[in-house]
Chain A
Amino acid sequence: MNHKLTDGGHVMHVGSLARVEGEGAMHIEVRDGRVADVQLQIYEPPRFYEAFLRGRAWTEPPDITARICGICPVAYQMSACWAIEDACGVSVPEAIRLMRRLLYCGEWIESHALHVFLLHAPDFLGYDGAVELAADHPSVVETGLRLKKAGNRLMTVVGGRSIHPINVRVGGFHRMPRVSELRALRPILEQALDDALATVRLVSGFDFPDMEQPYEYVALRPEVGYPIEAGRVVTSLGNDFEVGDFPEHVAEFQVSHSHALHARLDGGARGPYVVGPLARYTLNHDRLGEPAREAAREAGLGQVCRNPFRSIVVRAVELVEAVTEALRIVDGWSDGVSPSVPVPPRAGEGFGASEAPRGILFHRYVLDEDGIIRDAQIVPPTSQNQAGIEADLRALVETWTDLDDHALQHRCEHAIRNYDPCISCATHFLDLTVDRS
């Protein structure tokens, strides 16, 4: 919807933002060629989950919170497990961490393939969506679907099913997949590696608008390897803290235009901070395995990537990394590993974080001596990225004021999709409003 205001302003209202996970609304006001206001309005319900987690048993968060999202359930399960185990003073053996990483690789592959090929690539190639892209370039879409299927297959073997896995429990897994089951994945993963490398070559050839954003990047950094299932928190300004200190650094706050809490880092004086692929890559490119590092080099990614539009290239590089890691873990696995360790309840507070495909997902739980949850906090990545998305739009719209409303809407949606926002639990629709004068 577009209309002129009596003061000469202009309002654009788009009923539904396509190709994002879930629904919300966006409002932009342009006056005298300057962007007066940008609001990304998200109706995200993790608060409900936090409320009804209270009074539940310490063993339940992995299964309950997995239902928050059909795209990143493993992220919820892993962050929940770490936090509960932290509260109970339990550390899981290395083999269980590895199996969690393998399951998580499946989610990254599935989620990144969906976003790169079916949601984001049409923006760069000039198509309205995946269907139109598939009509002209079926092999491109088939590559994406094949990758997504490989991720689903990995999640099914390790997690019991491809959406909302059922094999995860506090302390580990209900059963470990057998070596024979994992080795059977090898041909699928080998094909996926070829497809992932082809994906990097494809997307690195796209045209990217010039844009460099100065946000503070925040990502996990484990002792070894690229951050997926765990790590300490590091930032591009040199800050470095334990996951348990996350609440001391990150404060959530409410804004009137979004149901999802915004978040500020260390008081917000340094401006918006961003989590997700660009942050992970910039802070951990030295941790990529050789195939992904070489793919990144060939794609022209430097050590720092500050162009949000290039996030599609980083996602493709992370596809290579996830497949490579999956192959490494599959090849090194042995039967006979105990699937879980006991996690007896105790009173306490615990913290957990992992790298969801869209960035850091933080959980905090307070338990009583019987293991009953007395308080729960979930900070999802898309909530943390709202301010960055709004700042991107503010900068971009000012350079795009010569575009007609249709073109402007398309560009704005493209810019939002740079962050692969995951608001899929919401039931409202994402509307775009541009108000110009």
Chain B
Amino acid sequence: MTGATLVVGVGRSDRGDDGVGPAVVQLVASRLPGESGVRILAQEDPTALLDLWGGHDHVVVVDAVVTGDAAGTIHRFDVGAEAPPLPAGVRAQVAQAGTHAIGLGTAVELGRALHRLPARVVVLGVEAGCLDIGTALSSPVADSVEAAAALVWKELAADVPG
């Protein structure tokens, strides 16, 4: 195990479906073998990724997104340095569900512009339904947590010894 893989759930757990990222990575963490070497974090501030992912060459980010699809729909974006830049429209979509002016999409493209983007970064975006403060995950999003965790696991398959 190289220890070079990072999994980050971005979002606020007390803001409805914005908490799906932390919920998914918590589930993934509970199933990881003790010595997997995979680093798993929850983070509210997307700009923190610019430092967090330093030294990692494979990063999986789970965040809520708003694209207009049904709540709970899971999107997959390849956004690493080896992938083409996010189009501005997609960048806005990926950023939109967050609570900060600098969203995940902007953090990714800042990383690319500053040569601070790991080679492989996969964003798993879970379509949000409700972002109200003080609410828990909506039913469709809560139901998608298991599937999203399975997709994270699939991304990690090559990094975690079976």
Contact = CB atoms under 8 A, between A and B. Distances in A.
Interface of A: 16, 18-22, 45, 48, 52, 67, 70-71, 114, 118-119, 129-131, 134-135, 138, 141-142, 145, 148-149, 152, 162-164, 424-425, 427
A296 B148 CA distance: 51
8 contacts: A21-B101, A70-B12, A129-B106, A134-B110, A148-B47, A149-B51, A163-B45, A425-B133
A70 B48 contact: no
A21 B106 contact: no
B48 A152 contact: yes
A141 B114 contact: yes
Contact of B47 (A114, A142, A164): A114
Contact of B45 (A21, A130, A135, A162): A162
A134 B99 CA distance: 22
Interface residues of B, number: 24
Contact of A70 (B44, B92, B115): B44
B106 A70 contact: no
Contacts of B131: 427
B102 interface: yes
B132 interface: yes
A152 B52 CA distance: 13
A185 to B, nearest CB: 16
Nearest to A149: B51
Given A67-B133, A148-B47, A130 B14 contact: no
B134 interface: yes
B136 interface: no
A152 B110 CA distance: 18
Contacts of A135: 113
Given A70-B12, A70-B44, A145-B50, A427 B132 contact: yes
Given A131-B109, A141-B113, A164-B44, 5 more contacts: A45-B133, A130-B110, A138-B113, A162-B48, A163-B44
A424 B110 contact: no
A135 B44 CA distance: 25
Contacts of B114: 134, 138, 141-142, 145
B100 interface: yes
A131 B113 contact: yes
Contacts of B48: 152, 162
A413 B91 CA distance: 19
Contacts of A114: 47, 101-102
A118 B100 contact: no
Contact of A131 (B12, B47, B99, B110): B110
A145 B44 contact: no
Contact of B110 (A70, A141, A162): A141
Interface string B99-135: 1111000100110011100000000000000011110
Interface in B7-34: 12, 14
B100 A424 contact: yes
A48 B100 contact: no
Contacts of B132: 427
A67 B14 CA distance: 8
Task: Output the residue of A119, A129, A162 with the most chain B CB within 10 A.
Answer: A129
A142 to B, nearest CB: 6
